Amino acid sequence: MKRFEIVNKIIENVVVAVIRLKDEKKLLQVVEAIYSGGVKTIEITLTVPNALESLAKLKKEFTGDILVGVGSVLSVDSAKQAIDAGAQFIVSPIFKKEILEYVGSKNLPMCPGAFSPTEIFSAYELGADIVKVFPADVVGMDFFKSIKSPMPQLKLMPTGGVTLTNAAQWLAKGACAVGIGSALVDQKLIENNNYSELTKNAKILMDTISSYRSSLKN
């Protein structure tokens, strides 16, 4: 899949599930659970134990149509290792020019973290495919509307503060996709092996977004 196709797929899928686990052995079950609820883009963070080995194993064992990227990437070396392990896109909580340029040289999408208007636009100018606004709960939804008014060309993805029920509101304010972590990938549910509830939560999230998208067509 080409770079622009992956970007388009991220936007089409809307939700990027940010996965942080204490036990990497549960990764496949977690992905299967949220995929059953309609979530098709996965971000495995490097805070997961043996994250890259888990990524390679997931891509080998999971048969569903998903995109798998790596998050919490803080260095070029980490980006290289993630890409070598099979990451289809890279996400970082920070804006670091060297990472952005390296991932771009590999013709893969890069979603750097940024916070201020200047930082966001600088990332865009250097080739960021989607800018991750983080932590989005600090700036709030109206920030997106304010940023998009003078810079409608930006593709923005909030991470931090996105919930099962407010994801559509972020989209309405100008986000092209949403990154959602603990509100979807609930650690207590995972610890209790309650994967059916994870599926239920994913379905609530995707149904909310589907309803919003349908309303735009009317």
Instruction: Tell me which of 132, 191, 200, 203 is the catalytic residue.
Output: 132
DSSP SS3 for 154: coil
* 43 carries an active-site annotation: yes
* 119 carries an active-site annotation: no
Instruction: Tell me which of 43, 101, 145, 197 is the catalytic residue.
Output: 43
Size of the chain, expressed as the number of residues it contains: 218
Compute how many other C-beta atoms are within 10 angstroms of the C-beta atom of residue 32: 17
Running DSSP on this structure, what letter comes out for residue 178?
E
How many whole angstroms separate alpha carbon 129 and alpha carbon 93? 15
103, 110 contact by CB (below 8 A): yes
CB within 8 Å of 210: residues ≥ 6 apart:
none
**Whether residue 135 has a cis bond before it, omega within 30° of 0:** yes
Token reading at 5: 């196709």
DSSP SS3 for 131: strand
Helices (H), the chain: 3-13, 27-36, 51-61, 76-84, 97-105, 117-125, 136-139, 141-148, 167-172, 187-191, 195-217
Q: Which residues are the active-site residues? A: 43, 132
